[in-house]
Chain A
Amino acid sequence: MEGLIVSNVLLWVLLVAVAFVVMGLVRQIGVLHGRLAPAGALMVDKGVAVNEPAPQITASDRHGRPVNFGYAGEKSQLLFFLSPTCPICKSLLPAIKSIAREQAGSLDVVFVSDGDMDAQQALIREHKLEDATYVVGPEVGMTYQIGKLPYAALIDKAGTLRAKGLVNSREHLDSLFEVEHLKHATLQQYLNAQPHTHDHSHGHSH
């Protein structure tokens, strides 16, 4: 009888533990669902082709100093196209700033915006972008044919456009650099180059 009671107590204790584990698992799944942001729409392919020389243009930043886009230089360039009226752009600014900090030695981050100057000033104050290169004007966006915001383009030292795309999250931003690393212009191209889809006839240098 004693043994049965001990066994019963043990079973209850273990059952409570298992129930805790199951609940924990369910909670974790819930958190994962919350974190799985909808992936960005596939790139609307227009404008400059990736892995081609980026269009060269010079625009003046908000202090009137000239900024060169697409020229060969000492550092790569990350162009971040934003607007003060776009909430997702603002939510990405911390990520952009941290990328700029991490890769300060090899990457120039240029913010490109357009529209009302007072709103720009408010955005700059709010996100402490006073020291950043911040270009206000439609020319750059028109040259690179930016239709959707927030958009980012990565130009390497030689002035070649390495990656571009609509960015909705830190993961999308990081994927731009990953794209450069993998030598595939877009995620779609990378997926098509995987072995299981080799029936597609895409020419890739690997």
Chain B
Amino acid sequence: MHTDPIFIIASAIAIAVLLASAATHKLRAPARFARQLADYQLLPQALLHPTARLVPLLELAIAFALLVPVSRGFAAISAASLLALYAAAIGINLWRGRADIDCGCAGPDQAQPLRPVLLARNSALVLLALVASVAPVARDLNLFDGFVTLAAAAVALLIYAAADGLLANSPLLLKLIGR
């Protein structure tokens, strides 16, 4: 498959920034993350704290690896698997009917319950990570290509942040209009 490097690098940057910001949220409030992880009720008690410490480090490592061309393909696959794993965790708890736990999806002030739409969100992210894993067509990148890549990654992240905000707001809105 032949894909222009702009798509690939832009997706890699976007996913890297996303994972890095997720990791910093988790590192800044480890207790909250451990609590959210416990709420998901997927891990035995003994594994909770090691996992809560390991996940943000893993996310950071993947984020850095995504930015290095040599490791990009492998890191992108890892990122896709990690995001798919999160989606699976959400899916399992939705299936269990435990939708009222905090998703832990975005920052600290965006607590939101689990909903099927979060699965769609994660699928979009997995798709983006898979784009980043494709081997690029070899071509020289000039300054303008670099600019387009950065701009595209920035727009993708901003739109993601906006969409995420809308997702977090929607339960509050439903409460407000009384459904």
**Using a CB–CB distance below 8 Å, which chain A residues touch chain B?**
5, 8-9, 12-13, 15-16, 19-20, 22-23, 25-27, 29-30, 33, 36
Contacts and interface: CB of A to CB of B under 8 A. Distances in A.
B154 interface: yes
B137 interface: no
A19 B176 contact: no
B155 interface: yes
Interface string B105-147: 0000110000000000000000000000000000000001001
Contacts of B147: 9, 12
B134 to A, nearest CB: 23
A121 B165 CA distance: 45
Contacts, number: 49
B148 to A, nearest CB: 7
B169 A33 contact: yes
Contacts of B154: 16, 19
Contacts of B144: 5, 9
B31 interface: no
Q: Which of A5, A15, A23, A27 has the most CB of B within 10 A?
A: A23
B165 A16 contact: no
Contacts of B151: 12-13, 15-16
Interface of B: 109-110, 144, 147-148, 151-152, 154-155, 158-159, 161-162, 165-166, 168-169, 172-173, 176
24 contacts: A9-B144, A9-B147, A12-B151, A12-B152, A13-B151, A15-B151, A16-B151, A16-B155, A19-B158, A19-B162, A20-B158, A22-B158, A23-B158, A23-B162, A25-B162, A26-B162, A26-B166, A26-B169, A29-B165, A29-B169, A30-B165, A30-B172, A33-B172, A33-B173
Given A15-B155, A16-B154, A27 B165 contact: yes
Nearest to A20: B158
B173 A19 contact: no
A22 B176 contact: no
B10 to A, nearest CB: 11
A71 B175 CA distance: 44
B21 to A, nearest CB: 14
A30 B158 contact: no
A36 B148 CA distance: 41
Given A12-B147, A12-B151, A16-B151, A33 B158 contact: no
B169 A23 contact: no
